[in-house]
Structures are given as C-alpha cells and as structure tokens.
Structure 1
Amino acid sequence: MMPCQVITSRKNEIIKTAAKLRDSASFRREQNTFLAEGARLCADAADSGLLIHSVFYTERAGEKYASYLERIFPKAEQMYQIADSVAELLSDTRQPQGVYCTAELPKRTAAAELGQSGCYLALEEIQDPSNLGAVLRTAEALGVSGVVLAGSCCDPYGAKALRAGMGAVFRLPLYFEEDLALCVRRLREQGFFTAAAVPAEDALLITRVSFPPAVLLAVGNEGAGLSQEAIAACEARVTIPMLGRAESLNAASSAAILMWEIMRTRGRLE
C-alpha cells in the first residue's frame, strides 16, 4: 500500500480543489474530475473502473469503513488521511461518513452510440439533481439499457445527484445530447420506436402500448415537461392512467412508472 499523507489544515490547496469539484459543475468539466462522498459510493466508483485520483478519509472512517477502503486504495493515485475539521469542508451531508474520492469523469458519449435494441430513457432539461439521481437509480434497478441526458440537464456527477443515485451512474450507460428533438429523429431513422411522456387525455395509455425491441421513452422537466419540438419528433405520445384528481406526477415518479411498465411488458421483470 502506498504511503498515506496527512492533511490537518483547512487551507490546504488539495482540499480547496476537492471542495470546488463538489460545488461547481463547470469546474468539474474543466478538470474532467468529480468528487464522490461516502464509503460505498467511492468503492462503487473504484469498482467501475474509473480512474481514482485521490481518496480522503478520517481516522475514524479508516477503522469503520476498512472493507470499503480496501476496494479503493489499490486503485487510487493518492491517499490522504484528513482531520475531522477538514472533512467538514468536503461533506455535503449532515452525518458524513468521512470518506471521499476524486475520480476522472467518464468519456461523454452521444446517442449515436446506442445499441440497435434495448429500452432507453431520454430526459430533457431535468433541473433537480435529486430527481435526476432518483431516475438513474430506478433505471439501473429495472435494467434499462441506458439514459440520454438532453439539453441543459443538471450534472449527474454533482453531489446531490450522486447521493440520490446510489452509485447507479457508475453502472448505467449515459449519453449526452444538446437537442432532444434532433436525437429522436435520428433514432427513428435507425428503427427506434420513440414515445413522449405527456399528461394528456388523448395520449395512448402506457398500459395499452406494445413496445418493439428498440424503444426510446422521453420524459421532460419538472415544470414544463417535454418541449413541443421533442413531442412532435416522437412517433407516439404516452401517458399514465390515473384515478385520482392529480393532473400530473413529478418527473422521477413518472419515469419510474413508465420504465417499470415498459420493462414488464418486455418480460424483463418476471
């Protein structure tokens, strides 16, 4: 095991840089690096094959989470034991575990790399990182083939999204597109069945749709939903049957129900 450096100063430049990675999406892109917090999340990042630049841990965490750290240490370029007061600068949680790592961002992949079959989810302009993380966690759990993040979606490698996703971002293929409507048109040309999720009475009930081998389901942001351009580009509009008086569901709930139904009809959940 490589020698471990000790950091006790809150003014340490390495710590300042790590804290900035937590707070700034633009800095994460500039440095091509993100900060993960939590023993299991850091271990998941290491297990996924991502390059781990640095791992930080408190003395107490070194004892309590030794089994997780054993998965991280062999893959880390640098290891730092940090004082509790230093850990506070890196933490984004109320009850921190005292384990953090900086890792290289995965290569950004366009939707042109999607497979010729499978169930894919497209998210347009999702702004709430907790919603995004929850959707990614559900998508990974249900066996969705991948997720397209379109437009100005929030960063899946931000602290809140990572925490809500419970490591799904390390196991689920992500694709990035500027224009969802253009992406949808291209996928239709490749033989994908494309469906827009909308809260409309005249849309097809998701429970009555038969899905072919290649599917892209598009879900819009929390307030405005999908853009009209994206809806128009899709082959079909689908909606969730609801018996109560609510007019719509939030993005995370809608995506979860829609994905579950698609995967159920494809026989993947039996």
Structure 2
Amino acid sequence: MSGYEEMKCTVNNVFPAPRVTWETEPPTFESLRPVTRIIPNKMGLYSVDSRLKKLKGLPDIIYICKVTRLYSGQTWTASIRQREIRESPGTDLTVPCAVPSYMNKPSLKWTFSNGEDLSTILTYDSRSENIISSPPWKSHAELDPFKISFGDSSIRLMDPKESEHTGRYTCVLSMPYGTHTERSDIIIGSPVDKNSTKGSPSYLWILGLVVGLLLLSLGGILVYRKLKGRNTEVSKDPEEATELRSAKDGDTK
C-alpha cells in the first residue's frame, strides 16, 4: 500500500476476484469513494488496483484497505499514515508509530532514507521480544520495549543532526495477513522567526523616514539661515547709505 495525494492498494494473482473495501481510523463522516479495477490474466487469476484520494484537512489519519476472498472470507489488511515533523538540531524528538486497533503483537522494522540510500535503524521480533539495532544508529535511536506492549512503537532520536538525520523514517508493523506503515518526513533545521523577518522591512522604512525628515529639517535650517543672511545685508545697505548722505549733507552745510 502506498500513496501521497492518493492512497493505492494493490493485490496480484489471486483467485477468485476479491472484494476491496476502505475505511479510516478514526472513522470520519466523509464518504470514501475509491476507484477499483479488477483485471484477470491468461491464467485465470486476478489483479486488483484500488485508489482513494486523501481526505482534505485530516493529515494525521490512518487509511485502511481490506481485501476479502469471497469464498473463504479470509481478509488481508494494509494501512498507512503519513506526517511531517520539524525540529531544531540537537533537540531530542520522538518519531511516532502506533499499532492500529486491528493488530495484535506485530513485528516491527524501522528504516531511514535520505532520498538516496535506505538503511535499517532497528527491528523488533514480537515472538522473542528481541530488539536489534544497526550499529550506525545505536547512539542516535532507541525503542522503549515497555511501551511496545501498550501499542507504542515510536523511536526516540537523540541529538539529531541536520545533515545526517533529515529524511524519511518508516515504521512497518507486520503480522500474518496484515501490514501497517507509518511514514514520517523529519526536517531538522534552525527555526525561522517569521515575526522578525516580517518586521525588518517596516523598521527599515521607519529608519528611512526619520533620516529623510532629518535631512529635510537640516535643509530647511540652511535655507532659512541663507535667506536671513540676505535680508540682513539688504537691511544694512540702506542704513549705511543714509548715514553717508547725512554726513555729506552735514559737510555741505
């Protein structure tokens, strides 16, 4: 079973043609409308391709596909849940994986992919209750065996690094006639303060306005002083001329 924008459930080479049904956990009030194709081959066996569009506004929901044989009533069940988690480097975080209600004591396998290589983090055998961790992950990922008995198969990432631990973590729970997959896209990176980013342009705008007003005020002061200086010179010239004329007039007299 796989899916991104839609969930896909496939079965190959079965007889007779099975019945395919979909449901979610928890249940929703929205009607599920899968598109299912049943194709026979030359050997008289059937292949089934059933697809269901993801429900909007419900990111953390389990999609369950059930394939039932018509004569025996035997049912195979596959389910999937997908999520995205963001965290800062060096901060311990839990990558969740919960056992769905239709499973009882499944085996477990955790894997990691950075887009290129796929590596096994650890495995858990429900019969022997043994946990086997891969050497590269022993100091970075741990599984709590006590929580497993209560249906919690999450792992704890310790001191994650951005370059090493950003990627897809996949938890696969399996038992006879049933498989559940949980995919978590983990993004390790420094948080971005959106408020400070949005506020920076306004602070620059205010600073520019203040500088503009200061320059305008300074320009006004200079113009004022220049005009005042001119007025002073103009006012002094008539006084000096009058005084000279008065002196000449006095000499003439």
Query: TM-score, normalising length from structure 2?
Result: 0.23
Flag the structure with higher helix content: 1
Which has more radius of gyration? 2
Flag the structure with higher strand content: 2
Query: TM-score, normalising length from structure 1?
Result: 0.22
